[in-house]
Structure 1
Amino acid sequence: MVAKKNLCVLILAAGKGTRMKSPLPKPLHIVCGLPIIAHILKAAQALGPAAIGIVVGHEAQTVVNAIQAGLSQWGITAPVVFVQQTELTGSASAVKAAIPLLQKFETVLVLNGDTPLLKAQSLARMTEVFEQNEAGALVLGVTVPDPSGYGRIIRAEDGSFENIVEDSDADEETKKIAEINSGMYVFNSHSLQTALTQLTPQGPKREYYLTDTLALIKQMNQPVVVFAGRDYQQALGINSKAQLAEAEQIMRDRVAAELMDEGVTLVRPREVYIDPGVKIGTDTRICPGCYICGNTVIGKNCEIEGNVYIKDSVIGDNVTLKMGTYIEESQVEACCQLGPYAHLRPKSVLKKGAKVGNFSEIKKSVIGEGSKVNHLSYIGDTQMGAGVNVGAGTITCNYDGKNKHQTLIGDHVFVGSNVNFVAPVTVHEYAKIGAGSTITKEVPAESLAIARSRQVVLEKKGVKKND
């Protein structure tokens, strides 16, 4: 999307969120693997704005620190400016605190900091309608099943904007209106700034309401437009843990629907947990109980059995992940097989056709093409060649108490069961390691290494038979 030099997005994220019953600031609560504010920032970034302003208040430094730490990961390249709201006297006060920023731009898109379900396409359409109507202001209106508690949008007979009536001020007839004010707007920056200076405090708390700027802009003979959002869920704000869970389910349902439309098979769509941004190829089949998180890419024709966990990893085509497999920050090439209950820790690589089986753990290692680590083994800090067979119970002893050391295993090595490699150690191609050996020295190519004591049998020294 082409960057809009005159557009500033302003996100209001200064509230306390007391109904969340948590010391964590509301914008930092997690929905589908990302903080609420991250979802909003990603939608704003898609517009190509000249700047994004974030109004902070409650636990301001905590919010600022978390956002600054995540901007690169979330793909936010627009300049982000933080604005401190010192007077918590309503939504208009939050916007007023940002006037020094807003003065630099022609158009301002105002968003709430608790609406993670917003879609970039909707925001883009809002700004387009605003520009087409040469409006002074545009408000996003949505029709909801239960409008109680929300301000109602009042339209004139011709359907144009007339005003907004708060729920507390509405008569019975007005309360029947289901189209409500979402609290999100597009403004002509100069008109907004002028209206903000003319506001008077309202209600028992003597607060300044941003909704009142619409009437003032209308009095300036500038058009005020209602943009009717088709999907009210995009405007849902999060004010409680129950609403947090609802937003999570809505977003996961969206992700599942999009993936199935692209040819992915989800056996029970509501029983898999897939983050937005995860990419999965056609005809991959995913069973219930799986968590696929972060920046994960999965290829075509994969079989992913139940209760598999994958995070920030790349999985190639035609891979089988059996029950209970756990993978993080790793790469699995085509035609590999893992599990059941295999564990890939970060920086692990499985080359094409490799196998890692029951209760085997791989850490920061490369398992070569066609190699097998099938049972009950730990392979850490290891470079393993192609065609290696690793017997059950094998361990690469990579830590000496102070430092980590590497094990190098060449192509087509055969490792018997219950072998310990005490790193640093190198085993060259086509070598064989006898079962039960502890290998501490280099093993030449095409040799047999046996490092265990000779079996000694002492007659009549076993367990005595009972009389």
Structure 2
Amino acid sequence: MSLSVVVLAAGKGTRMRSALPKVLHPVAHKPMVQHVIDTARTLAPENVHVIYGHGGDVLMDKLAGQQLNFVEQAQQLGTGHAVQQVVPHLGDNETVLILYGDVPLTRKETLQGLLDAAINTDLALLTVTLPDPTGYGRIVRNANGAVVGIVEQKDANTEQLAISEVNTGMMAVKGAALKRWLGNLSNNNAQGEYYLTDIVAMAADEGVNIATAQPQAISEVEGANNRVQLAGLERAYQAWQAEQLMLNGATLMDPVRVDVRGEVIIANDVVVDVNVIFEGRVELGEGVVIESNCVLRNCKIGAGSRVKANSVIEEAVLAENCAVGPYARLRPGAELAEGVQVGNFVEIKKTRMGKGSKASHLTYLGDAMIGAGVNIGAGTITCNYDGVNKFVTEIDDGAFIGSNSSLVAPVRVGKNATVGAGSAVTKNVEDEELAVARGKQRNITGWQRPVKKG
């Protein structure tokens, strides 16, 4: 049977106190609703329908290009009313999985368990057992353990209030049954709204065997109505990520002080110190060490390399046994070959450094091709920009660039050539030549220092 997913994302989120639609608030730098959609996609649905309301233009812009069917709920008249809007897009012979855009941490395995529970029935509910169920709708079962309804907190009697199994709102329903039950919903209640949970009693009245499934962790079914709850989801997500990294072979010096905001792929014996942030896709080879306070974004770090404290690496590639930092910045297009050393306060952009080359201090290398065994002295700058265009600096194998040198691109320094300290090089330097481009030193005897006037 085919699968369609319906994601409820129309709520305003007043308690967030934000102009941003609630479901677009991020967990691990990704909108909550995007977490939901990405997990749903792993189930291979034929369609994903997103029901929008408040901030619909912003939501659709943020989620553009993902083959989603957006359905408007112009008036927010309850969860049942929301799902009614998508009925014209649903088939009778498909399973409809209903999810919530502000519940981002539900795992694929949990949703698959819910779908499995729905195989032989028209309705399956995702429920959860809470140590304190206050405020949640209770799952009411008969003497045989069959689900017969959901009773809200305000309507529950003393016996029902003692029930710890509660409704999460997520469910899997056969298309034809869902359409029938939605057509019979009433808004005859204190709020004047159409509640999706009312279909549970309808199913029970028809004698439907209502199946249930439960998540592995309570945090999988928790939503965020305010920023305190959002922060709680962030910590739960980060705890999962840290646990997975350690199970995969990483040593985290303090698991609660590492943030994963994307995907981290690691080999054995990786060590990560405190306050490290991973963003996008990051690959760490065997034995890599990441010291404290580093940010790594969309990069690959080769085996045996070390990123020292307070360094930022973005869209860069390091081969084996490199050393970077402390306080280094590798920008997009930086590529370090085996054994390259990049020291403190060095910035590299769109530059390839060959095997064993070094730039140890206070240097900017942009738009450069640097060979093997090159030494870049402290304070060296590749002057790559004329105010309009960028130009390339070439430094061949074995060259030595003296401290405080400016290489004005386009320019080439040849193999085993030397640039004297303090030079401003504007012309090519041939192989094994010495270039000295600085004012001639004058020593003035008998010179008097200025003194303060009286």
TM over 0.5: yes
Q: Does 1:110 align with 2:98?
A: yes
In 1, Cα distance between the equivalents of 2:117 and 2:247?
29
Q: Does 1:358 align with 2:344?
A: yes
In 2, Cα distance between the equivalents of 1:104 and 1:382?
62
Name the CA shift for 1:238/1:85 in 2 (closer, same or farther; >3 Å). same
Partner amino acid for 2:42? A
In 2, Cα distance between the equivalents of 1:102 and 1:285?
49
Q: Does 1:262 align with 2:239?
A: no
Partner amino acid for 1:123? L
Partner residue in 1 for 2:145: 159
- Whether the aligned pair in 2 keeps the contact of 1:8 and 1:105 (CA below 8 Å) is no
Alignment partner of 2:362 out of 376, 390, 399 = 376
Alignment partner of 1:126 out of 110, 114, 124 = 114
In 2, Cα distance between the equivalents of 1:419 and 1:105?
73
- Whether the aligned pair in 1 keeps the contact of 2:110 and 2:216 (CA below 8 Å) is no
Alpha-carbon displacement from aligned partner over 1:108-167 (angstroms, at most 9, x marks no partner): 000011011110111111111211xx1111111101122111100011222221110011
Query: Matched residue of 1:364: which SS?
Result: strand
Q: Does 1:60 align with 2:56?
A: yes
Q: Does 1:91 align with 2:79?
A: yes
Q: Does 1:37 align with 2:33?
A: yes
Query: Matched residue of 1:107: which SS?
Result: strand
- 5+ residue gaps, structure 2, are none
Name the CA shift for 1:199/1:154 in 2 (closer, same or farther; >3 Å). same
Partner amino acid for 2:413? V
Q: Does 1:277 align with 2:273?
A: no
Alignment partner of 1:241 out of 222, 227, 232 = 227
Partner amino acid for 1:35? P
Name the CA shift for 1:244/1:198 in 2 (closer, same or farther; >3 Å). same
- Whether the aligned pair in 1 keeps the contact of 2:3 and 2:45 (CA below 8 Å) is yes
Deviation at 1:378, TM superposition (A): 0.5
Q: Does 1:288 align with 2:271?
A: no
Query: Matched residue of 2:407: which SS?
Result: strand
- Whether the aligned pair in 1 keeps the contact of 2:147 and 2:204 (CA below 8 Å) is no
Query: Matched residue of 1:334: which SS?
Result: coil
- 5+ residue gaps, structure 1, are 72-78
Deviation at 1:346, TM superposition (A): 1.4
Q: Does 1:15 align with 2:8?
A: no
Query: Matched residue of 2:348: which SS?
Result: strand
- Whether the aligned pair in 1 keeps the contact of 2:115 and 2:172 (CA below 8 Å) is yes
Partner residue in 1 for 2:89: 101
TM-score of the pair, normalised by structure 2: 0.97
Deviation at 1:300, TM superposition (A): 1.2
Deviation at 1:189, TM superposition (A): 0.6
Partner residue in 1 for 2:316: 330
Partner residue in 1 for 2:21: 25
Alpha-carbon displacement from aligned partner over 1:206-250 (angstroms, at most 9, x marks no partner): 100001112222333332112233422110011110011100000
Q: More deviation in 226-235 or 240-249?
A: 226-235
Name the CA shift for 1:457/1:178 in 2 (closer, same or farther; >3 Å). same
Partner amino acid for 2:425? I
Deviation at 1:456, TM superposition (A): 1.1
Q: Does 1:229 align with 2:212?
A: no
- Whether the aligned pair in 1 keeps the contact of 2:97 and 2:171 (CA below 8 Å) is yes
Partner amino acid for 2:34? A
In 2, Cα distance between the equivalents of 1:437 and 1:324?
31
TM-score of the pair, normalised by structure 1: 0.94
Partner amino acid for 1:180? V
Deviation at 1:168, TM superposition (A): 1.2
Name the CA shift for 1:213/1:423 in 2 (closer, same or farther; >3 Å). same
Query: Matched residue of 1:95: which SS?
Result: helix
In 1, Cα distance between the equivalents of 2:157 and 2:204?
23
Deviation at 1:465, TM superposition (A): 7.8
Alignment root-mean-square deviation, CA: 1.5
Query: Matched residue of 1:301: which SS?
Result: coil
Q: Does 1:306 align with 2:312?
A: no
Partner residue in 2 for 1:74: none
Alpha-carbon displacement from aligned partner over 1:51-89 (angstroms, at most 9, x marks no partner): 1111010100100110116x4xxxxxxx42111111210
Deviation at 1:104, TM superposition (A): 6.7
Partner amino acid for 2:52? V
- Whether the aligned pair in 2 keeps the contact of 1:330 and 1:347 (CA below 8 Å) is yes
Name the CA shift for 1:178/1:112 in 2 (closer, same or farther; >3 Å). same
In 1, Cα distance between the equivalents of 2:268 and 2:24?
34
Partner residue in 2 for 1:458: 444
Alignment partner of 1:182 out of 155, 164, 168 = 168
Query: Matched residue of 1:229: which SS?
Result: coil
In 2, Cα distance between the equivalents of 1:462 and 1:96?
91
In 2, Cα distance between the equivalents of 1:191 and 1:440?
78
Deviation at 1:276, TM superposition (A): 4.7
- Whether the aligned pair in 1 keeps the contact of 2:146 and 2:209 (CA below 8 Å) is no
Deviation at 1:451, TM superposition (A): 0.7
Say how many residue pairs are matched: 453
In 2, Cα distance between the equivalents of 1:37 and 1:104?
26
Alignment partner of 2:400 out of 407, 414, 425 = 414
Q: More deviation in 88-97 or 229-238?
A: 229-238
Query: Matched residue of 1:455: which SS?
Result: coil
Partner amino acid for 1:129? A
Partner amino acid for 1:99? V
- Whether the aligned pair in 1 keeps the contact of 2:148 and 2:200 (CA below 8 Å) is no
